[in-house]
Structure 1
Amino acid sequence: MALPEFQRGYVWNRDQVRGLFDSLYRRHPIGGLLVWVTESRSALYRGDGQLAPGVVKLLLDGQQRMTSIYGVVRGKPPKFFDGNASAFTGLYFHLDQEVFSFYQPLKMKDDPLWIDVSRLMQKGTSGLGEFIARLSAQPELAPRVGEYAGRLSRLIAILDIDLHVEEVTGKDKTIEVVVDIFNRVNSGGTKLSKGDLALAKICTEWPEAREVMKQHLAEWEKAGYHFNLDWLLRSVNTVLTGEAKFQFLHDKTAGEIQDGLKRAVKHINTCLNLISSRLGLDHDRVLFGRFGIPVMVRYLDKRTGLMDEVERDKLLFWFLQAGMWGRFSGSTETYIDQDLEALEGPDGGLDKLIEQLRLWHGGLRVEPGHFTGWSLGARFYPVLYMLTRMGEARDWGTGLPLKANLLGQGSKLEVHHIFPKAKLYDKDKKWRYKKSEVNALANFCLLTKDTNLQISDRLPEEYFPEIEKKHPGALASQWIPMDPELWKIENFLAFLEARKKLLAKAVNERLKELLHGDTRWIEETRVITPTPETVLGGISSEEEEQELEALNAWMEEQGLPKGILSYDFADPETGIQKAVFDLAWPNGIQEELSEPVAILLNEPPEVIALASQARFRCFTSIGEFKEYVRYEILAEEKEKIA
Structure 2
Amino acid sequence: MKIYDEGAESLHEILRAASSDQGATLLVPDLQRPYVWSPSQVTLLVDSLLRGWPFGTLLLWSVHKEDLAGIPSRPFWRIADRTDEFDDAQVSKSNPPAQFRMVLDGQQRLQSLLLAFGGDSWGFRLLDQEWSMVLDAERPKGKNAKRHWSLGHLSLDVWAFRERVKEVGGVGNVDFRDVLSWVVQSPNDGRSTLSRPANYKHPIASALDAENKGRFVRLSRLWDLASTQPGLFEQHFRQKLKPLLSAHDVPKEIIEDVLVPLAELVVTLVSIKQSKVSYLQLSPFDAEVINQDVYNDAIVNIFTRLNTAGRALTRQEITFAWIKTGWDASKTSNRTAGRCFEDLNEALAAAGVSIDIDALVGLVSAMWSVLHRDGALLTATDLLRGEKVRPMAQDLVKNWDILVANAVEGAQLVQDRGFRFGEHYRSLNVLTLLLAWRLLGRWWLEAHPLSVADRDGFEKSLDVAFKDHCDRWILLSQWSGRWVKSTDKAFAEYTKDLATDWSKLAVLASPDDVIGALKTRMDVWIGALQAESSKYIDDLAVLTRNRVHDYYLPLWLWHRLDAQRWKASALPLRESKRGSPSLDVDHIVAVKLWETLPGAQAQAQADADDESALSADDLSTTMNALGNCCLLEKSFNIAKSAESLRAFLERVHEFKTGQLKVDDWTRELGVDAMLVDPSDKPAVDVRLVVEARTTAMKAELKEYLVGTRQRADV
Structure 1 pair 422/86, CA: closer, same or farther in 2 (3 Å)?
A: farther
- 1:245 equivalenced with 2:377 (yes/no): yes
- 1:213 equivalenced with 2:382 (yes/no): no
* Equivalent residue, structure 2, for 1:385: 556
Distance (whole Å) between structure 1 residues aligned to residue 637 and residue 39 of structure 2: 40
TM-score, normalised to structure 1, is: 0.57
Letter in 2 for 1:294: T
**How far is the alpha carbon of 1:322 from its aligned partner?**
0.8
Letter in 2 for 1:255: Q
Which of 53, 59, 63 in structure 1 is aligned with 2:95? 53
Distance (whole Å) between structure 1 residues aligned to residue 123 and residue 677 of structure 2: 67
Corresponding residue SS for 2:415: helix
* Equivalent residue, structure 1, for 2:701: 507
Which of 278, 295, 307 in structure 2 is aligned with 1:164? 278
Letter in 2 for 1:507: L
Which of 414, 424, 439 in structure 2 is aligned with 1:275? 414
Q: Over residues 86-109 of structure 1, what are the superposed CA-to-partner deviations in whole Å (9 max), with x where a residue is unaligned?
A: 899647xxxxxxxxxxx699xxxx
* Equivalent residue, structure 1, for 2:301: 180
Ranked by relative contact order (alpha carbons within 8 Å, sequence separation 6 or more), the top structure is 1
Aligned length: 469
Q: Which moved more, 1:61-70 or 1:201-210?
A: 61-70
* Equivalent residue, structure 1, for 2:435: 297
CA contact (8 A) 1:415 1:447 kept: yes
Q: Over residues 557-608 of structure 1, what are the superposed CA-to-partner deviations in whole Å (9 max), with x where a residue is unaligned?
A: xxxxxxxxxxxxxxxxxxxxxxxxxxxxxxxxxxxxxxxxxxxxxxxxxxxx
**How far is the alpha carbon of 1:358 from its aligned partner?**
4.1
Structure 2, unaligned stretches of length 5 or more?
Answer: 1-17, 19-26, 76-87, 139-150, 181-264, 287-291, 329-335, 383-387, 446-457, 505-515, 573-579, 603-615
**How far is the alpha carbon of 1:387 from its aligned partner?**
4.2
Letter in 1 for 2:404: V
Alignment of 1:74-113 (within 5 A): 90=134
Structure 1 pair 455/334, CA: closer, same or farther in 2 (3 Å)?
A: closer
Corresponding residue SS for 1:35: strand
- 1:32 equivalenced with 2:57 (yes/no): yes
CA contact (8 A) 2:59 2:279 kept: yes
CA contact (8 A) 2:638 2:648 kept: no
Corresponding residue SS for 2:459: coil
Distance (whole Å) between structure 1 residues aligned to residue 422 and residue 643 of structure 2: 31
- 1:475 equivalenced with 2:666 (yes/no): yes
Structure 1, unaligned stretches of length 5 or more?
Answer: 92-102, 106-118, 137-141, 404-410, 518-642
CA RMSD of aligned residues (A): 5.4
* Equivalent residue, structure 1, for 2:643: 459
CA contact (8 A) 1:281 1:386 kept: no
CA contact (8 A) 2:368 2:392 kept: no
CA contact (8 A) 2:323 2:390 kept: no
* Equivalent residue, structure 2, for 1:639: none
**How far is the alpha carbon of 1:380 from its aligned partner?**
4.9
CA contact (8 A) 1:33 1:61 kept: yes
Which of 155, 163, 166 in structure 2 is aligned with 1:123? 155
Distance (whole Å) between structure 2 residues aligned to residue 63 and residue 415 of structure 1: 48
* Equivalent residue, structure 1, for 2:72: 44
**How far is the alpha carbon of 1:34 from its aligned partner?**
1.9
Q: Which moved more, 1:341-350 or 1:51-60?
A: 341-350
Corresponding residue SS for 1:306: helix
**How far is the alpha carbon of 1:123 from its aligned partner?**
2.3
* Equivalent residue, structure 1, for 2:176: 152
Corresponding residue SS for 1:59: strand
CA contact (8 A) 1:24 1:30 kept: yes
Q: Which moved more, 1:205-214 or 1:382-391?
A: 382-391
Letter in 2 for 1:284: G
Distance (whole Å) between structure 1 residues aligned to residue 554 and residue 467 of structure 2: 19
Distance (whole Å) between structure 1 residues aligned to residue 368 and residue 430 of structure 2: 17
**How far is the alpha carbon of 1:256 from its aligned partner?**
0.8
Distance (whole Å) between structure 2 residues aligned to residue 488 and residue 502 of structure 1: 24
Letter in 1 for 2:73: Y
Which of 476, 482, 487 in structure 2 is aligned with 1:327? 482
Distance (whole Å) between structure 2 residues aligned to residue 455 and residue 392 of structure 1: 26
Structure 1 pair 186/144, CA: closer, same or farther in 2 (3 Å)?
A: closer
Distance (whole Å) between structure 1 residues aligned to residue 72 and residue 460 of structure 2: 42
**How far is the alpha carbon of 1:257 from its aligned partner?**
1.8
Q: Over residues 178-232 of structure 1, what are the superposed CA-to-partner deviations in whole Å (9 max), with x where a residue is unaligned?
A: 3333345549953334333322222221283244223322333355433234433
Alignment of 1:178-577 (within 5 A): 178-183=299-304, 185-186=306-307, 189-206=310-327, 208-242=336-370, 243=375, 245-247=377-379, 250=389, 252-259=391-398, 261-278=400-417, 280-303=418-441, 304=445, 305-308=458-461, 309=464, 312-343=467-498, 344-345=500-501, 349-359=518-528, 362-365=531-534, 369-373=538-542, 380-388=551-559, 392=563, 401-402=570-571, 413-418=582-587, 423=592, 444-449=629-634, 451-452=635-636, 457=641, 459-461=643-645, 462-464=647-649, 470=658, 471-472=660-661, 473-484=664-675, 487=678, 491=683, 497-508=691-702, 510-511=704-705
Structure 1 pair 143/351, CA: closer, same or farther in 2 (3 Å)?
A: closer
TM-score, normalised to structure 2, is: 0.52
In our comparison, the structure showing a higher alpha carbon Rg is 2
CA contact (8 A) 1:418 1:444 kept: yes
CA contact (8 A) 2:556 2:631 kept: yes
Distance (whole Å) between structure 2 residues aligned to residue 35 and residue 285 of structure 1: 43
Distance (whole Å) between structure 1 residues aligned to residue 367 and residue 114 of structure 2: 41
Alignment of 1:574-613 (within 5 A): none
CA contact (8 A) 1:5 1:46 kept: yes
**How far is the alpha carbon of 1:252 from its aligned partner?**
2.0
CA contact (8 A) 1:4 1:58 kept: yes
CA contact (8 A) 1:239 1:298 kept: yes
Distance (whole Å) between structure 2 residues aligned to residue 289 and residue 33 of structure 1: 37
Structure 1 pair 22/394, CA: closer, same or farther in 2 (3 Å)?
A: farther
Distance (whole Å) between structure 2 residues aligned to residue 22 and residue 377 of structure 1: 57
Letter in 2 for 1:152: F
Distance (whole Å) between structure 1 residues aligned to residue 689 and residue 125 of structure 2: 60
CA contact (8 A) 2:589 2:676 kept: no
